[in-house]
Amino acid sequence: MVRIGIWLDKEKAHVVTLHNNQANFETILSNVETSRDVPGSDIRLKEGSKEIIQDSKFMEREKQQLKKYFKNLVSEIKEVDKLVLFGPAETALNFKKELNSNYKEISAKLSDVVKADSMTNAQIVAWVKSYFDAN
């Protein structure tokens, strides 16, 4: 049985795969932009619509980058039998929504989405082992 726990935020995902009493740890970077560096953004614009357009473009670009990030994650977990998502932000919930919408076969294997603070790599592996031992 392949059990996978994924700690994720917008920046990266730590994927822990448990199979045959072995734990495999892998980090996948998202490449999602985290800042809105707009030229002249520190200067107040007389026209508020330009600011709205910049925000709109940033949000759309971020949305597309998240879709690509989630697609990369799905490609890494195709063989999963049981899955748990956890992390400090809403990214895990957004990934769950993506699974429900576009990857129903994997979504059916999702056990839970849990809020969790930042952890070291060793803590992430221990958390995943503990989660699946209890469930």
Q: Is residue 43 part of a domain?
A: no
Domain count within the chain: 1
Q: Is residue 123 part of a domain?
A: yes
CATH value at residue 99:
3.30.420.60
What are the angstrom distances between the C-alpha of 117 and each of 32, 35, 123? 20, 22, 11
Tell me how long the chain is: 135
The better pLDDT of the pair 2, 59 is held by 2
pLDDT of 51: 59
Q: Which candidate, 2, 3, 7, 1, places its Cα nearest to that of 26?
A: 7
Q: What is the mean pLDDT of residues 101-129?
A: 96
Whether the CB-CB separation of 26 and 7 falls below 8 Å is answered with no
pLDDT of 42: 47
Angle at CA of residue 104, ends 119 and 9, nearest 5°? 20
Give the model confidence (pLDDT) of 50-103 as tens digits: 556 667 787 788 888 899 999 999 999 999 999 999 999 799 999 999 999 999
Element (H, E) at 24: strand 22-29
Q: Is residue 41 part of a domain?
A: no
Give 135's pLDDT tier (boundaries 50, 70, 90).
Answer: confident
Maximal CA-CA distance, the chain: 62
Give the model confidence (pLDDT) of 22-62 as tens digits: 999 999 999 887 655 544 444 454 555 555 666 778 778 88
CA distance 21 to 76: 19
Q: Which structural domain range is residue 25 located in?
A: 3-32+49-134
Write down the residue that tokens 């930042």 correspond to.
118
